Amino acid sequence: MELELEELEATATEDELAAERAAAKTQTVRSFERKRPSRQPFPDHLPRERVLVPGPVTCASRLSKLGEDITETLEVVPRQWKVIQTVREKFSCRNCETITQPPAPFHVTPRGFAGPNLLAMILFEKFGQHQPLNRQSERYAREGIVLSLSTLADQVGACAAALQPLYGLIERHVLSAERLHGDDSVLQKHTERMIEMI
């Protein structure tokens, strides 16, 4: 038994030495170091609001400013609704007994109430952001402005009619070219989707 124990100890020593030699031959692998993400600076065109946190007032007479640290926080001001009141004064002439008044402001729809910025926003969200009119109506209601789906649809239709001459000019300009280039990949995707549905 003693011989077996001696043999086991010798084997264990050999294994330890072999492991040390193998460890010496291998290169040390550096552990993974996570890079800190570098945040893009905020655009220069955004207005800056400076909020000054007052310093300590315990030794006000003995303090001298060394510098300042600025922490920038991106914030958003929610959409603001407003009503523009256009006042048209009436005047009467005592000599000729006539009443004069400037004309009413132009609206896309007859007797309309939506301003140009509101109409542009509705059209952009519908056609540019693919936001259906019912969702727009629900969102405006959450903001306290009740605009029914039929009212929004009327406004979109009136804008389309008002923009028809501009559309005609653009169409004539585009179709006057010798060649027209188009992207049919969208059409192919729709065709594949229709085939899958069948």
Mean pLDDT by 10 residues, the chain (198 residues): 70 78 70 74 87 74 76 82 88 84 81 87 94 95 92 92 93 90 72 71
166 inside domain? yes
Q: Smallest Cα–Cα separation from 119: which of 108, 111, 110, 130?
A: 108
22 inside domain? no
Query: Which SS3 state, helix, strand or coil, does residue 91 take?
Result: strand
Provide the pLDDT for residue 2. Answer: 66
DSSP-derived pairing of the beta strands 99-100 and 91-92: antiparallel
Provide the pLDDT for residue 29. Answer: 65
Q: Rounded to a whole number, what is the distance in angstroms from the first to the last CA of the chain?
A: 81
Neighbours of 152 (CB within 10 A): 20
121 inside domain? yes
Provide the pLDDT for residue 130. Answer: 93
Provide the pLDDT for residue 3. Answer: 66
Alpha-carbon separation of residue 138 from 33, 114, 135, 198 (angstroms): 48, 17, 5, 35
Written as six digits, the tokens of 136 are 């727009």
Question: Would you give the distance in Å from CA 121 to the centre of its chain?
Answer: 14
Tell me the one-letter amino acid at 12. Answer: A
How far apart are alpha carbons 163 and 126 in whole angstroms? 15
Provide the pLDDT for residue 61. Answer: 66
Number of domains in the chain: 1
Provide the pLDDT for residue 105. Answer: 81
198 inside domain? no
Q: Which domain holds residue 161?
A: 115-179
